[in-house]
Amino acid sequence: MAALTSITSQNTKGVRNVHCLPPDLLWDQYQTLGEDISFSGIKIGMVGCGKNIEVIKRILTDNPNIKKVVDPVFKSSSGAWLLEKDSIPDYISEIKGKASLLTPNLEEASMISGIKIKNTEDMKKAAKSIFTLSNIPCFIKGGHFPKQMVNLLYDGHEFHSFKKEKIKKKVHGTGCFLSSSLLGYMAKGYSLEKACLLATGLTHKAIKNAIQIGH
């Protein structure tokens, strides 16, 4: 089940327009769903605009006993902003300690940490910085490295890396697929490290078997 934060005009070429929905409508969607079904887990994706941050904070706070994954989708792969750049620090501050896992990609991890990521050592520095800022375990998605897919988990104590061969195929939505898979495995009771391993493998398989559509 989904609660929409925004409506977009997009295709496989990119995002053309983003319309952020009002915060009260987002909250009403969440409450309406909750009156009908129970949640095993919650994933937060695109926020849409800074006005929705407070509602997202309320939703996370309202569900202390289930797994919650926050995928900080700040920009589309085509470059369209999906959250105002100056709202990013406020977003991380408001959700501090309120989720089970943060799943930024390389660019998003750089935006949050202020560290330009060129290699796995930079990933470690960024993940540690993000954990300090958010008090949430950090899983950096490294699918945009040129030669190898390297995902990195920092759980607040240790680093765990998950590597797969790079598949040269034009795909869309792999980051969202990965974060959703992570939530599914976590909600089933897998440990954080095991969930990251399984979700990385599932995403790699999905990319390998993806059907090419559009451009």
In this predicted structure, the answer to whether residue 125 has a pLDDT above a threshold of 90 is: yes
**What Rg do the C-alpha atoms of the chain give, in angstroms?**
16
- How far is Cα of residue 51 from the mean position of the Cα atoms in its chain? 19
**Residue 146 scores a pLDDT above 80:** no
Give me the percent of the chain exceeding a pLDDT of 90.
Answer: 79
User: What pLDDT is attached to residue 145?
Assistant: 72
- 168 pLDDT band, cuts 50/70/90, is confident
Tens-place pLDDT, residues 9-35: 999 888 899 999 999 999 999 999 999
The residue that leads in pLDDT, 117 or 75, is 117
Class of domain 41-208: alpha beta
Dihedral angle at the C-alpha atoms of 158, 114, 20, 66, nearest 10 degrees? Answer: 10
pLDDT higher than 90, residue 153: yes
**Mean pLDDT computed over 37-55:** 97
* The model's pTM: 0.94
pLDDT score recorded for residue 212: 83
pLDDT class of 117 with cuts at 50, 70, 90: very high
- Residue extents of the structural domains in the chain: 41-208
Q: Would you say residue 79 has pLDDT above 90?
A: no
Q: What's the pLDDT at 6?
A: 96
User: What's the pLDDT score for residue 78?
Assistant: 77
- State residue 107's pLDDT score: 95
